[in-house]
Chain A
Amino acid sequence: QVQLQESGPGLVKPSQTLSLTCTVSGGSISRGYYYWGWIRQHPGKGLEWIGYIYYSGSTYHNPSLKSRVTISVDTSKNQFSLKLNSVTATDTAVYYCARDTGQYFDHWGQGTLVTVSS
């Protein structure tokens, strides 16, 4: 059974870079077939797809986040990461990593709350 776990700072200052890592267990990112993605949920609100990466390194992200998003993969550690730069209070959210079929998300991490505040 695939399991995902997010890690990273829970507090980021405005204008700085949010950095999160997702560690995958029970399955290898290098196996291919699946994408590995990030989704966020603003407090008390709905879900927003951020982007995904394939084990080869190819990525795609939601155009609404413009060019602030970088997603990378480290297959040796079975991890993938999210960087979101120039953050503001509107980036405060619970961030989830998930196994992405390219269509829907079939396994999710438990989520981590990131607050943007000085």
Chain B
Amino acid sequence: EIVLTQSPGTLSLSPGERATLSCRASQSVSSSNLAWYQQKPGQAPRLLIYGAASRATGIPDRFSGSGSGTDFTLTISRLEPEDFAVYYCQQYGSSPRTFGQGTKLEIK
């Protein structure tokens, strides 16, 4: 199965700053079949990005995804207070579908 490694484990930033989160796959993810989710404490994950770069319905344009092959990035252009959460990547190019271990984005 494809192992997804997210970095950093924790990212400390201030509102208004730019966040760059990384997701690296143990083997190439076909057709950029990668999604990103946001999870806040006590809540279910929320789909942000699919197809590596397509925003899900209702997701603000400050969230953007990029990458292909084994290296993918989620960028939040200007952090809002509600963006501090845990972010997960998920690949669906190969079965079984797998998730990364998460990056915690915390307020500095």
List the one stretch of B13-21, B68-76, B77-85, B93-101 in contact with chain A.
B93-101
Is the Cβ of B35 less than 8 Å from the Cβ of A104?
yes
Q: Please, how many angstroms separate the alpha-carbon atoms of A110 and B56 in the complex?
A: 19
Interface residues in A, total, Cβ within 8 A: 21
B91 → A minimal CB distance (Å): 10
Cβ 8 A contact of B35, one of A62, A63, A103? A103
Interface residues in B, total, Cβ within 8 A: 21
Closest B residue to A61 by beta carbon equals B96
Is the Cβ of B47 less than 8 Å from the Cβ of A105?
yes
A17 → B minimal CB distance (Å): 22
The number of inter-chain residue pairs (CB within 8 angstroms) is 49
Q: Is B90 an interface residue (CB 8 A)?
A: yes
Cβ 8 A contact of B102, one of A46, A60, A62, A106? A46
For A96, A102, A105, A108, the residue with the greatest tally of chain B CB atoms inside 10 Å of its CB is: A105
Q: Please, how many angstroms separate the alpha-carbon atoms of A47 and B101 in the complex?
A: 7
Q: Please, how many angstroms separate the alpha-carbon atoms of A84 and B99 in the complex?
A: 21
For A46, A48, A60, the residue with the greatest tally of chain B CB atoms inside 10 Å of its CB is: A46
Chain B residues with CB under 8 A of A62: 96
Interface 1/0 per residue, A41-55 and B, CB below 8 Å: 000011111000000
Is the Cβ of A48 less than 8 Å from the Cβ of B99?
yes
> Residues of A with Cβ closer than 8 Å to B?
45-49, 60, 62-64, 96, 98, 101-106, 108-111
